[in-house]
A and B are shown apart, each in its own frame.
Chain A
Amino acid sequence: MECEYRVDIKKTIKNLLFFHEPRVERPFILTEVSREGEYGPGLAKAREKPRRKKNENLLLEKIEKAKLTGKKESQADEKAPDISRQLSENLEVIEERFSVPLNGDLIIRKFDIAVKDSVIAAFMVFFDGLVNNKVIDDDILQPLMLLSNLDIRSDGDDLLIYIRSHILPHNQLKEVRTHQEVIDTVFFGGCGIYIDGLDTAFAADVKEFPGRTVERPNTELVIRGPQEGFTESLRANTGLIRKRLMDQNLIAEDIIIGKRSKTPCSILYIRDIANDSLVAEVRRRLKSIEADHIMDTGELEQYIEDNPALPIPQVMATERPDRVCSMLADGRVAIVMHGSPFALVVPITNSDILHSAEDQFLRFPYSNLLRGIRILAILVSLLLPAIFLAITNYHHEMIPTDLLLAILSAREKVPFPSVVEVFLMEISFELIREAGIRIPGPIGPTLGIIGALILGQAAVEANIVSPILIIIVAVTGLGSFAIPNFSTGFAFRILRFGFIILAALSGFLGITAGLMLLGFWMVNSKSFGVPFVSPVAPRAKGGFSDAVFKSPVWNQEKRPDFMNAKKDSKQAEISRGWINRGSSGRQPDGGDRNE
């Protein structure tokens, strides 16, 4: 047994050390599309597609089509109409599917409809608490039960058409032919109406969920710019996006996720900007998820991201509708989920995690200052404790003598090696941070006092840590809070510990090795077919106007090349028409002459 195991290890080591043919995989590639420049036709002509790519594209489309048709067929089988003309049979099915005696909040209301002399039995089903009772009373029950007696002129005999077009004045009414559709609607705040003698049921949308109203976003606060954040309701969220992006090509595709939870989601994109293969890929990934319950986009993100092990997030989660809108306008795809106040946007690159929503609204010198500070914050949060350790343990000659002597005298009475010191402080800082989130509101201030006392004064006075280290940890903490993306903050907190260990083991050599590994890792990863460090590697045109630093907004003419959007440019070469006298616009020359 033991011997076998040893052999296994040998093999493993061999496997690790020697060359293998790399496994051929077919990763998702964002296919290029022929782009028409909306502004200036010269650009599209200049960039001619290579032929090989074209063929590939065709092939992919074929595969995609075959898959879609295949799926449709299988879905058609599932959705065979199963509503009976007998009301009692339908009632039985519904009672069984909703486990009626057990479910207390399910309401089944039986009533009669008087239609042209005859009385027809009917019932409706909905969940109490998910629906607007007033709408049900006024717009569904009242017309069916009372107003159906009115003398309505109509010539058709079909009861279904008669009811739909004359009796039910409710605005969102669907005719459905399967129980499943009714049930799905009921769970999403609708009500199902069954009528005797019809093999079709009505699904009316009367939802009114208990929930928050639109509030300020909690994580991405800005000073300049809109102050609305997403809420937990899907339609309110898509509404917030539509409110800003009044583009007729904005598509909000519905999709249901979760085999049991059946959480409704929307895929949003602008049809004539977003790359089709990207939209198809998002759809494919979402549809392929075979999980019972998905509650939040935080979970969903983990199902669809490319590299689960990479600490840095490859999907942007944002609470701000305006942010989603501007990213949609770049040709990205957003996913909004019912029950989650965060929308996901894909694909992103590493420069997107540097950006804050405010950058867009500030004049470019201001946002460049902020960008610079953020880069510094990332470096500090990632490397400062490691650099401190490396210098004090390995590279004493690197710092000014006075600083060295100051560190020396501060450390003179500290009994631990500086690695232990750094870990002690970093861990207690993380403790305070975690406790600060969990602590109930009213006793929050206590934590501040404890934190300040323990970390600040007492630890120094007890000679457990040196005062300089307090500064290092404090600055590191500030740096990690200045990173605009919440998940990225986490990523750098984790990586920081890695860098501390590397620095303790081999100083700058270790830090350099760590940075290289991190670089390899990032260069190697993709987010929905877009290389994670583009436009830097691979080099792409047009991405630089708003990558690390931002050029003035009228100068950002191109959508990033790596996005392979259908429209290449987002504004004219000269977008400020007024700077060219006599060109388009108001023609100031003519005006002058008149005067």
Chain B
Amino acid sequence: MNKGKHLAIFIMIAIICPLMTSCFDAKEVDDLGFVIALGLDRGKTNELLMTLQIAKPMASNNGGGGGKEDELPYATFSVEAPTMVSGLNMINTFASKQITLSHIKVVVFSSELARDGLGPYLHALIRGREFRPNMPIVVARNTAEEYLQSVDPKLVLNAAKYYELVYQSYRYTGLIPKVEFHDFYLAAESMCRNPVAILGDASKFESAEEFDIENSTYLEHGRSAPLEGDFLAGDIPAVGGARAENIGIAVFDGDTMVGELDGTDTTYHLLCTGDFVHSYWTIPDPLSEGDYVLFDVKQSRRPQHRVEIVDGKPVIHVTLNLEGDLVSVQSGIDYESGERSLLLESAMESYVKKEVSGYLDKTIREFKSDICGFGAQARGLFLTWAEWEAYQWNKRYKDATYTVNANFKIRRPGLILRSKSSISSESESDEQ
């Protein structure tokens, strides 16, 4: 009997103890407002202008009214506040649901803010446990507010999904860098590399009539016409879909933005860091002036970095290993055959060397910022940490010289085994 009593009391205590907590932390899903995007601008009246996109529950399909135009998938809130957290507090005063950041998909900074230094905001982001470490960081060339509003809810049915997918496009376009917040933060604090952010902006074109290529960077690259990557965000002559454009890199030195790179240079950046997956490249035909050869380029092996220090100055050796499939030969020359394919490969190699050199030149001379992370290799040259610290890599990077070595192999000619120029009365050859 005594044993039974003990057991009863033990069970009572065991049951009552957890009941005292009474679902202390529990929050029902429908009591929360999930922020999917956060934009930060310099405020007019205060330090910050915060723009929040908060997901609305999907409209229930009863009645089947079809396109309810006023039914947006998210609500936008803006508030001017001294800090990020106080801004959230202020929004909570009028938003009915408690704001939570655990599903945030992107943080957008305006370039004005980025050029002044993101330090104070980065610390708040890394400390807050609600921020996801893998969210991308975007720098809007104009204002973050405009950028977020340009993700047009009418065309983008599910904004959260839009953000999830659009920043993954580096895998198949190579026109935006791979950016994850935790990596951005580490790079900003690091002594051997500097961070980059995705460059984004709302398109400046409303309709096809307004198209121009004034702001294209093709002249800088020494081309007669712009290739697909020769643009900065907002300048692409395109309409339709979301007006927000993401192309190019915002280059940082520490936590301060120092410059912009266009889409083409972004590809070379991905090549140098090893994040490149695959994309289509258009290169000038080595045998036929004015024509282009299209490749589906992959990285066959990660790039090899080697760093020496000669007379106190860094010397960087980069070896790139690429392979590609022929997608299109406009001139109709049969590059599939042995001799010519070697010729094309070497032409591609020298093209890559030249272009990547141009990109490295920019990071060294123009931005003085090691965004490729060559410093990680340089670290190994020092015997003690104190020596490495004393060397001050980030300051010496501007004196660096480099060599670029590229290996390129053509793997497959696509579905055509042998090109033949189309037979017609004119000798003009056509695309195959």
Contact = CB atoms under 8 A, between A and B. Distances in A.
Interface residues of B, number: 35
A396 B29 contact: yes
Contacts of A409: 57-60
B103 A396 contact: yes
B423 interface: no
B132 A9 contact: no
B26 A405 contact: no
Nearest to B160: A401
Given A405-B55, A412-B57, A393 B10 contact: no
B186 interface: no
Max chain B Cβ within 10 angstroms of own Cβ: one of A16, A408, A504, A510 = A408
A351 to B, nearest CB: 30
B143 to A, nearest CB: 25
Contacts of B18: 502, 505-506, 510
A397 B103 contact: yes
A15 interface: yes
Max chain A Cβ within 10 angstroms of own Cβ: one of B25, B28, B59, B130 = B28
Contacts of A510: 18
B40 to A, nearest CB: 21
Interface in B1-43: 5-6, 9-10, 13, 18-19, 21-30, 32, 34, 36
B25 A507 contact: yes
B365 interface: no
Given A396-B100, A409-B58, A505-B19, A404 B28 contact: no
B27 A506 contact: no
B6 A12 contact: yes
Contacts of A564: none
A8 B9 CA distance: 11
B304 interface: no
Contacts of A396: 27, 29, 32, 34, 100, 102-103
Interface in B177-194: none
B26 A411 contact: no
Contacts of A9: 9
Interface residues of A, number: 31
A388 to B, nearest CB: 11
Contacts of B19: 505
Contact of B21 (A15, A393, A505): A505
A340 B32 CA distance: 57
A412 B60 CA distance: 10
Nearest to A395: B102
Contacts of B146: none
Contacts of B36: 401
Interface string A369-406: 00000000000000000000000111011000110111
Nearest to B158: A402
B105 interface: yes
B323 interface: no
A270 B58 CA distance: 66
A510 B130 CA distance: 21
Contact of B6 (A15, A392, A406, A407): A15
Interface in A1-38: 8-9, 12-13, 15-16
A392 B28 contact: yes
A417 interface: yes
B340 interface: no
Contacts of B55: 401, 405, 408
B23 A504 contact: yes
A418 interface: yes
Contact of B160 (A8, A13, A405): A405
A510 B158 CA distance: 34
A592 to B, nearest CB: 52
Contacts of A417: 28
B29 A397 contact: no
A393 B32 CA distance: 10
B164 interface: yes
Instruction: Tell me the dominant secondary structure on chain A's binding face.
Output: helix
A414 B28 CA distance: 11
Interface string B150-169: 00000000101100100000
Contacts of A504: 23, 26
Contact of A406 (B22, B32, B58): B58
B370 to A, nearest CB: 34
A472 B266 CA distance: 46
A418 B28 contact: yes
Contacts of A502: 18
Max chain A Cβ within 10 angstroms of own Cβ: one of B30, B32, B132, B161 = B30
B29 A411 contact: yes
Nearest to A8: B5
A222 B191 CA distance: 68
A505 B23 contact: yes
A394 B26 contact: yes
Nearest to B55: A405
Given A405-B58, A409-B60, A418-B28, A397 B132 contact: yes
A403 to B, nearest CB: 10
A361 B59 CA distance: 52
A302 B397 CA distance: 80
A411 B160 contact: no
A407 B154 CA distance: 23
A12 B9 contact: yes
A393 B28 contact: yes
A402 B21 contact: no
A306 B146 CA distance: 71
B28 A411 contact: yes
B264 to A, nearest CB: 33
A414 B60 CA distance: 13
Contacts of B132: 397
Interface of A: 8-9, 12-13, 15-16, 392-394, 396-397, 401-402, 404-409, 411-412, 414, 417-419, 502, 504-507, 510
Given A16-B10, A405-B57, 14 more contacts: A12-B6, A12-B9, A16-B13, A393-B23, A393-B27, A393-B28, A396-B27, A401-B105, A402-B161, A405-B34, A408-B32, A409-B58, A504-B23, A510-B18
Which 5 A/B pairs are nearest by Cβ-Cβ distance? A409-B57, A397-B102, A393-B26, A401-B160, A411-B30
23 contacts: A12-B5, A12-B10, A393-B23, A393-B27, A394-B26, A396-B27, A397-B130, A401-B36, A402-B160, A404-B34, A405-B55, A405-B57, A405-B58, A405-B160, A408-B55, A408-B57, A414-B30, A418-B29, A419-B23, A505-B18, A505-B22, A506-B25, A507-B26
